[in-house]
Structure 1
């Protein structure tokens, strides 16, 4: 019973704010200024990309040359799929929300790829 209570308490505990949450909750972004919010999402994507690149380099260091070539090709293919999954809509009426949607999508795709790379053998 104690274990169940501890598990429920842990699940109900607030999660620490991410850098994105902190950025969106402060300054002009907190007031809903699109350019400030876009800067927050852009910075979030850059953080995710830096983590991906560090993970990729670490994986490449431990692979033999033939496997490195395979992973390099797979990574290049993934970049095309990532970009296709996160198009920047320029359709009439798309609006300024695209300044938020695209970097948010890129960050999500990049984090998923980072998780995949961490499991790569």
Structure 2
């Protein structure tokens, strides 16, 4: 439930950011800054959740979670490659952090259920 509340709060912050200033006028760098900030919020929540889980689980389970987290980082990066092919354009500056946020939010939700 807490994870859902945090996701909704982050979405509201992203929406607010996209609806003000230059981002609201469709200026790509300003919109990109909104998406990057959204990812940074999601990443901070992931790190806080990971640290909390590491503290609450038995010591014997910590190595398993650490290995799982490292494997997930590789999967996240593979799922969200930066497309820098000619002609891609500036939309990638929005797509990449949005993808990272989506993957990170899913992982945070998963971590809250880790036993």
Aligned-partner Cα distance in 2 for 1:25–1:75:
34
Equivalent residue in structure 2 for 1:104, among 98, 101, 107? 98
Q: Where does residue 37 of structure 2 map in the other structure? A: 43
Tell me, which stretches of 5 or more residues in structure 2 are unaligned? 1-7
Q: Where does residue 87 of structure 1 map in the other structure? A: 81
SS of residue matched to 1:89:
coil
SS of residue matched to 1:93:
coil
Q: Does 1:21 align with 2:18?
A: no
Tell me, which stretches of 5 or more residues in structure 1 are unaligned? 1-14
Q: Where does residue 57 of structure 1 map in the other structure? A: 51
> Looking at CA atoms only, which structure, 1 or 2, has the larger radius of gyration?
1
Q: Which structure 1 residue ranges, 4+ long, deviate > 2 Å from structure 2? A: none
Q: Where does residue 8 of structure 1 map in the other structure? A: none
Quote the offset at 1:86 in angstroms: 0.4
TM-score normalized with structure 2 length = 0.90
Aligned-partner Cα distance in 2 for 1:62–1:26:
40
TM-score normalized with structure 1 length = 0.85
Matched pairs, number: 107
Q: Does 1:77 align with 2:60?
A: no
